[in-house]
Amino acid sequence: MSTKNSFSDSSAKSYSQALYELASETNTLKEVEENVQVFINLISNSTDFIFLIKDPTCKQDEQLKIINLIFEKFRLNSLLKKFISFLIKKRRFFYVEKILKGFIDICSKSRGEITAKLSVAKELSNDEINNIKNDLSKNFGSEVKLNYTFDPSLIGGLIMQIESIMIDTSVKNKLQQIENKMIEA
């Protein structure tokens, strides 16, 4: 099982890098990145589309036909269409979301952006999220892409991850630490 995961991770990174290089060479990087984001949103918002991607019994011809319709409807970049079609033909369409998210990460890193994940126990307003993002950008001296999630299971506090730095001040974590100490005693 772990061999398959490592293969899919490494192959996904290779495909992501290939798309990045193709888009760079054709001077369509910005357009392809925007179109990739549209495509990722389509995947996130459509259970039927997820089923099309994940269903091993779906024929390549059907997948290609649907992809062609999607690209016509949303007027997405032809390079991205060829790339997605290539993934279908090589039976890598199952990994399309991972590959495209990897591509977005590569684009972000090439611009010097830092990705941060923030999970909090209370819902934050857009102003609060923007203030946190701006403070992080100032502290790290680089643009920060902040992925915010509301997680009531944390009970209180927050969890923040910036690159390899992890900060966990959640009540849930503190209760887990107390439980672990009680078990050890």
Ordered structural domains, the chain, with CATH: 2-109 (1.10.520), 114-184 (3.30.910)
**How is residue 163 written in tokens?**
């690159």
User: Which strand (E) or helix (H) includes residue 183?
Assistant: helix 171-184
Do the beta carbons of residue 136 and residue 144 sit within 8 Å? Answer: yes
Q: Taking each helix axis from N to C terminus, what angle separates 2-25 and 78-89, rounded to the nearest 10 degrees?
A: 150
Position 7 confidence tier, pLDDT thresholds 50, 70, 90:
low
Residue 3 has what pLDDT? Answer: 47
pLDDT in tens, 116-172: 999 999 999 999 999 999 999 998 888 898 999 999 999 999 999 998 889 999 999
Do the beta carbons of residue 129 and residue 119 sit within 8 Å? Answer: no
**How is residue 173 written in tokens?**
């974590």
CA distance readout (Å), 93 to 56, 105, 137, 171, 175: 10, 19, 35, 40, 42
Confidence (pTM) = 0.74
What does the mean pLDDT of the chain come to? 91
pLDDT in tens, 9-33: 888 999 999 999 999 999 999 999 9
pLDDT in tens, 41-86: 999 999 999 998 999 899 999 999 999 999 999 999 999 999 999 9
**How is residue 1 written in tokens?**
């099982």
Q: How far, in whole angstroms, is CA 66 from its chain's centroid?
A: 23
